[in-house]
Amino acid sequence: MNSSFSKWIQWIKDRKKYTYPILGVAGGVGLGYLYYYFIGCNSGTCPITSSPWGSMGVGGLMGLLLVSK
């Protein structure tokens, strides 16, 4: 009984290790897209904000860096 309880506690701890980075990347991607949509680059010469993929990639990277320890 004690062994299964400790395995359950370990499973919870392992999920926390992956949950925060996934949420950080998802939030960063969402904010990156919103930045592209509302601010963006009208001329198309901006390397990061000229396409949604660039701004979402940078946003996801920033979100990962913010939640990483």
Q: Residue 57 in contact with residue 28, Cβ under 8 Å?
A: no
pTM: 0.76
Contacts of 27 (CB under 8 A, 6+ apart): 63
Cα–Cα distance between 57 and 53 in angstroms, integer? 6
**Is residue 65 pLDDT above 80, yes or no?**
yes
- Asked if 62 contacts 24 with a C-beta cutoff of 8 angstroms, the reply is no
pLDDT digits (tens, 9 = 90+) for 34-53: 999 998 888 878 888 888 99
Q: Where are the domains of the chain?
A: 17-67
| Per-residue pLDDT, 12 | 74
